[in-house]
Chains A and B, each alone.
Chain A
Amino acid sequence: GAGVSQSPSNKVTEKGKDVELRCDPISGHTALYWYRQSLGQGLEFLIYFQGNSAPDKSGLPSDRFSAERTGGSVSTLTIQRTQQEDSAVYLCASSLRISGSYEQYFGPGTRLTVT
């Protein structure tokens, strides 16, 4: 595809359930980032992948959050035992990350609502 895609676009789940959010980066982009954006707030960094490895997981809010990336492409962010404070828009971005090109391109986000 031409851009970063994310699915689902919206997810409503009950407190305590697990959710999986998917990100398809731009083809050929080696770096992938997950961010969280609460209503009216800025972007909170969660995790960064270079290829399939995650050099920086420092932004994950708790051990209920995990992410993986396979084949240097698709990434899944998993939130276990969701809580109401997990409600937010989860944004994914990818980057070519070569000399002179570190721009991140964002997907449309997944809006998660925990009831």
Chain B
Amino acid sequence: GQQLNQSPQSMFIQEGEDVSMNCTSSSIFNTWLWYKQDPGEGPVLLIALYKAGELTSNGRLTAQFGITRKDSFLNISASIPSDVGIYFCAGLEWETSYDKVIFGPGTSLSVIP
């Protein structure tokens, strides 16, 4: 079946560094979503991308929808301790009456103060 791959699987960075993670698929999606999950909480939506090539920012976060529609990346600039968590990408195919959503396995981010 369809699968999303996220890399890296985990990251340990110093506070203030920039972070880059990506998500790839063998299938085409028409929506990419990026989520962050804190321990014991549900995932929180960070950014939604709907158009190939689209580049969207949300504060220190920037995400892009790859032009092949098979990948997406998320960048975090000037990381801070509260950026710690697991970042999930999700690819979504929406049709008239049916959604198919695939989540990646996540990238675990640790920020060292």
**A78, chain B: closest CB distance, angstroms:** 20
A107 within 8 A of B: yes
| Cβ proximity bits A88-108 to B, threshold 8 Å, 1 near / 0 not | 000101010100101111111
Report the bound CA distance from A100 to B48 in whole Å.
10
Question: Assuming the A-B contacts A43-B88, A100-B50, are A105 and B99 also in contact, with contact meaning beta carbons closer than 8 angstroms in the complex?
Answer: no
Residue of A nearest to B92 (CB): A102
Q: Which residues of the partner chain B approach A106 to less than 8 Å between Cβ atoms? A: 35, 42-45
Question: Assuming the A-B contacts A4-B42, A109-B42, are A45 and B48 also in contact, with contact meaning beta carbons closer than 8 angstroms in the complex?
Answer: no
Q: Which residues of the partner chain B approach A7 to less than 8 Å between Cβ atoms? A: none
Q: Which residues of the partner chain A approach B48 to less than 8 Å between Cβ atoms? A: 102-103
Q: Which residues of the partner chain A approach B65 to less than 8 Å between Cβ atoms? A: none
Report the bound CA distance from A50 to B101 in whole Å.
14
**A38, chain B: closest CB distance, angstroms:** 12
Q: Which residues of the partner chain A approach B50 to less than 8 Å between Cβ atoms? A: 100, 102
Q: Which residues of the partner chain A approach B66 to less than 8 Å between Cβ atoms? A: none
Q: Which of B31, B35, B44, B88 has the most CB of A within 10 A?
A: B35
Contact A33 B42 (CB under 8 A): no
Report the bound CA distance from A35 to B100 in whole Å.
13
Partner-contacting stretch, out of B52-60, B67-75, B77-85, B103-111: B103-111
Residue of B nearest to A42 (CB): B105
Question: Assuming the A-B contacts A43-B103, A45-B101, A56-B98, are A104 and B42 also in contact, with contact meaning beta carbons closer than 8 angstroms in the complex?
Answer: no
Q: Which residues of the partner chain B approach A102 to less than 8 Å between Cβ atoms? A: 31, 48, 50, 92, 94, 99
Contact B33 A108 (CB under 8 A): no
Contact B104 A104 (CB under 8 A): no
Within 8 A of B (CB), among A34-51: 35, 41-43, 45, 48, 50
Q: Which residues of the partner chain B approach A56 to less than 8 Å between Cβ atoms? A: 98-100
A55 within 8 A of B: yes
Contact B94 A42 (CB under 8 A): no
Interface residues of B (CB under 8 A from A): 31, 33, 35, 40-45, 48, 50, 88, 90, 92, 94, 97-106
